[in-house]
Structure 1
C-alpha cells in the first residue's frame, strides 16, 4: 500500500507520515526546507502528481498539509524544531528516533487532544523559531504549594508545574541552554528612576544555571545550578510574566540586554528602556487621567497572584450560541493567522464575540488596557490617525506622533511574552488599504519579525524601520449588509482569516431565553417568526441572506417579566426601523413583515 493510502489504525492518515518526515530530514543531514521535504517524500514513496494536486476544503494541497501536520506533531513531541523560519530540523531525540507504527500511534495519542481531528482541512500551524545554539530561558518557580526555587536547586532540576500548559516550550529546552528562575511583580515605589508614582513591571532573578538534559515529558529538565543569587537582582520594565519564556535575543535588543543582565552580570541601562515609545508615553508628565487610574495597582508577585481566567467555556456561559468545537476552531485560526475578521448580517454578535475571543486568547477575564484595545473605523479615519502623522504637541508645534496601532505595537514589543489584541470594529467602514498603509504588509503572519521591518511614510529618525511583533493579534468585525460600503480590498482579504456568523436561533439560544424567564410558547413563536422573516429577506432579490436579522435582537440579558410585551417592544423599537430602511422604496413590504412579527401579540 502506498504511503498516501496507508492509515495506521486509530489515527488520521497524516500520522503515517511521521516516520517518512524524520527519515527524510535525517537523509538531508538533520535539517531541510519544507519544499525539499515534500519533494523528497513524494519521490521516495511514489506519490503521483494527481495526489499531490488534490486540495482540501480550504484550498490547500492535501499531501503537503498532511506532511506539515506530521511535522507539527513531531515538534510537539520534541523530535523537530525550527532553527529559523522556513527550516525544519531534528532535535537530538529526533536524530535517533525510529517511529514504527505503534510508536507513531502512541505519539499521536499523546498530543492529539488539542486538535479534535480536523487536521485534514485546517492548515498546520507554524512554529516559533528556536535558533540553533544556546538559548536563554526565564522560568517561574511559584506553584500551588509555594515557592519551589530551593527544591529545584537542591534536586538539580527545573519542573513545569502545569501538565496542560507550557509543555511544548519545555520540550524545546536542550542541553547547553541557559536558564534563570525569575519572579515577576509590579511596584510603584522605590524604583531606581522617575516613575511619577506609577506602576512599574519588575522581575527578580533568583538563580541561574545550565540545562544538562531534557527528560522529554514536557515537565522536567536537569539543571546545573550556580550558587543562589542572594539577594536576587531586580530588573525593570521589559519583563516576562508568564511561567516559561524564551528570550528572543536573536532579533530583540531589549532581550539581549536582559540576557546580559541575568547571565553576564551586566547592569541595566534604564535610560535605554525609558527612551522606548511605550515607556515614554507610560511615564509622561502629561499622562491622561484614565492612564493613571489604570496604572493604580499595588505591589504584588504575579507568579502567585490570583488571575481570573477566561476560556471558550466562559464564552458559552456568557451567552455564546456557537458550539464549543467551532469556537475552538475560530480561536485556533486566530492564533495561526494572527488576523481575523468576523463578518455577518446585523445582530449576529460580531463585536460581542470579538471581545470574548480576545479575552480567551489572552486567557484573562479582565485583561489590562495594554493587552486589549479597540477602535472603530469610519470614512474620515486616515493613516495619520491610525498609524503615524503630524500632530500638535502641548506647545502647539507639529510633531510626528504615533497613532493607536503603533501604540499597540510598542506595547506588544515591551511585553513580548503576553498576547496583545486590537479589535477593529466596522473594519470596512473606512478605507483599510489607505488606513493601514505599509502595515498591510507587516501584519501578515509570515512577516512578523524584525528581519521584515520596513521604513514608514513618516520617520522619527533617519533609517527607522518598524515591524509588527508576533504576539499582536487583530480581530476585525464587518457588517456585510451595509450598502454604503465597497468591497474589501483583496490585499486585506489575503492577510485575514474570515469567519461568517449566522443568525443562531438554536437550542443554545432557546436555553438562554428560558433561563431569563422568557415563556416557552413565546420562545417558539419568536423562533418561527424570525426564521420566516429571514427566509423572506433571503429570497428578496433586492436584499439577500446578508440582510437577515441576527439573534442579538431577540436575546435577553435581563430577566423578562412579560415575554410578549418584551418581544413587541423589540420589534417596535429595533426591528421595525431596520425593516423600514431595508424596504425604504417598498413600504408595503415592510408593513407586512412587521405585521407578521406582531400578529396576535
Structure 2
C-alpha cells in the first residue's frame, strides 16, 4: 500500500462519549485485537463523516491527548460490530494495520495534537511533519534492517550507487545492526558514526581497495622484521609472515570479550616462570612446536623452536618476543614486530589454556571494492567467502596459506560490506567470481533526504532552491536522448548529499565545484550524450541556482525589459 499522502489523520479514542461522558477505555486494547481496529462514535459532524468515508490506505496516528500511541494504516471500510461496541463503546469501526508503536519513536513536542477526535493534518503543519518524519524513520529502519538480514544470510553484500547517495553512512548503520547494537538510533547520523568509531579496530574493520593493493597486503605476506637480541641490539633482518586486515578481522571473531586476555597472559607468565617450567606449544601451522618460558623481571618471553639449529645453550632464546607487544597483538591493536608468528602461537596457547574462544559477529568494510584487482587480492580465499564454505557451515573448506603455512578457514560470523560507485569507469567491472558471492544493493538519490535536511523555517527558500535544482538535474540526465550505454538514472543521478547545504553560498560552491564537474565527466566519458550548446545553457542556469526553464524565462523577461 502507498504510505505517502498529502495529508495524514490523527485520532483519540479513550473517551467514546466525549469529555462529559464519564466513560474511558484503553485504546491500546483496540489495537491489540486479533484484527486491530480504530473506532469513533456516531455524530452528525465532519469528523464522523471523514472517519467513515476516507479511503483505505490512509495513515492514522492513534493518540491520547498529545501522547502518541501507534501509527496505523486503514485496511477496511467502515463497519458496525455489536461485540466491539459492548467492549469499547464506539459505534463505527475500521480495521487497521499497525505500522509502528510509539515506543519505537520519539514523542511529539508539546501541544501539536491537543484537540479533536478525528482530524486531518496537511503539509506545513507540525502534526504532518511529525507523522511524516515517523514514516521516513520507518523507511530507513526498514532499509537498514533488510540489508542487515540480507547480509546475515548471504554474508557478503555490495552497496552500489552514484556518488553522494549515502553509502558511507549506510555501511555504518548496517554494520551496527548486524553487530546487534540496540542502544543507538540507526537513523541518527551523529550517534551512528560515534558508535562506529568506537567499534573500529575491534568489531569493525575498514579498508579501501586500490590498484596497487595485493594479497600480501590484504591477507598475509612476508614483511621484513628487524631482529634484536636480549639486550635490544639489532642483529639483522628476517622475513616473517604478517597478517593483513582480512586475517585480523577473522581473528577478532574468536576473541572472547567475556574474558580479559591481558589478565590471562599475565597469569600464564606465572605458570611458565623459570626455564624449569617451560611449556611446549604448537606453532601456528601445527607442524612444529616452540618452547616458551619467562624469567621474572624480563620484558620479553623466551621462545625457542624445538628444532632450533642454535648451537648455544638450551636456555638461550634466539627469538624473544616483547610482552607488551604480544598483549597489543592479542587485543588486535598492534603486532609483535620481531616474531609475530611466534607471538600468535603464544596467544593461541593462552587462549587454549583458559578456554578463550569467542564467536563474535565482525564486519569488514571494503570501500571502492571495484578499484582493486579482486582475484589478485583475495587469491584462493575467494572460494571461502561463500556462506556454505565458511567454518561451521554446511560445506566448510580450509586452505593452507602460502606464507604462514597456516590451515585457515573463514569464520561464519565475518560479514563483508563492499561499496562501489556505479559511474566509476577508471577500473574494470566486478568479475563474475566475486559477483556470485555478493548480493548487490543499489542506493539512489532521494529528494526526501534533501527536504528533511532543510528543517528550519528560515531555510524554506534554500530548500525550494535545492529541490528545484535536484529535480531539474534529474530531468536533464534521464532524457532519453541524453542517456547512452548501459547506465540508467539510478546509476547516474547526482546524490542527494550534494544538494544539502547550510547557506546559499555553500550550495553555489557545491554546484560549481562538485556537481558540474561530475556531470561534465559523464559527458566527456560518453556516458551522457549532450550537445555543447545544451551543456552550456544547463550549466549557466545551475550556476545561478535555477532550473534550466526558469533561467530561460528570466532571460526573456530581461530582453523584454530592455525593449
Relative to the length of structure 2, the TM-score reads 0.46
Please tell me whether Structure 1 or Structure 2 has the larger radius of gyration of its CA atoms: 2
State the structure with bigger RCO (CA 8 A, min sep 6), 1 or 2. 2
